[in-house]
Structure 1
């Protein structure tokens, strides 16, 4: 039986709710990726060219500091959840990936999004970290059954 960790970043609570549901229903461990500086609604205003999130997403090298990381050595699969920002994963996901050793692990990514898909997110992460094993991602709306999610993670 492979050991699974759900690591997630949530700015508004949507991703958190799904991550907690997936972890609880499947008995997976869970870890929240918490920014040192919590995002305010103004920080998340994608229509404001000077908002914190816009500035971060426009600087591909920026890595928002996180409160802490976690030991992933005991896991075969790490599932990383996040909201889609600017059609890709938020920069804080890079901070997390660079803070742990994911070599040899299967990495599944799930996103929460009203309309954007996951493929560009996973392709961008795989291009940034070509030595890591990214599996097919999944966009979640919250309506998916835990069976469907478990099946996706074990594929």
Structure 2
């Protein structure tokens, strides 16, 4: 199975987990890069006027992505992101709406110190209803390769 790990990481935590998933699964890695990078002030969740807060409150907000990837050779796409305001950042929805995932397997994963993955997968499915969604997973900082391997094996996505 040909696998792509596509991820957005604001602080580097999701990037580290994505790299470990790609290494364990033998997948290709793709970083979803915002056209306008997020500054530290943009990410201040305690500020109601910060960019991330404004985007998360506006469910129709779709931040532009600076790069692209050809998804046609991939059977499965593992999509990673940090949890922002109990959901995926809107740039993940930008990514999902930019491609035709019909018949492809999508597996979400998130990084969070406390928030759960749900309800993000339900919103993700609305962006690409013809994709096949598999059970996602939440990882804390420093997720170990063994837990990643077991998760991928449970989904039939290990190498």
Q: Please state which band the TM-score falls in when normalised by the shorter chain.
A: over 0.9
Q: Does 1:143 align with 2:144?
A: yes
Instruction: Give the corresponding residue for 1:22.
Output: 21
* In 1, Cα distance between equivalents of 2:49 and 2:15: 26
* In 1, Cα distance between equivalents of 2:29 and 2:67: 14
Q: What's the C-alpha RMSD, in Å, of the aligned pairs?
A: 1.5
* In 2, Cα distance between equivalents of 1:84 and 1:25: 23
Q: Does 1:116 align with 2:118?
A: no
Count of residues in Structure 1 that have an aligned counterpart in Structure 2: 154
SS in 1 for 2:5: strand
* In 2, Cα distance between equivalents of 1:81 and 1:152: 18
**TM-score scaled by structure 1?**
0.93
1:40-81, Cα deviation, whole Å (9 max, x unpaired): 111011111000001111111111011111111111100000
- Contact 2:97–2:127 at 8 Å: present in 1 too? no
* In 2, Cα distance between equivalents of 1:128 and 1:22: 24
* In 2, Cα distance between equivalents of 1:73 and 1:127: 20
**TM-score scaled by structure 2?**
0.90
* In 1, Cα distance between equivalents of 2:108 and 2:69: 17
Instruction: Give the corresponding residue for 2:131.
Output: 132
Q: Structure 1: which 5+ residue stretches go unaligned?
A: none
Q: Structure 2: which 5+ residue stretches go unaligned?
A: none
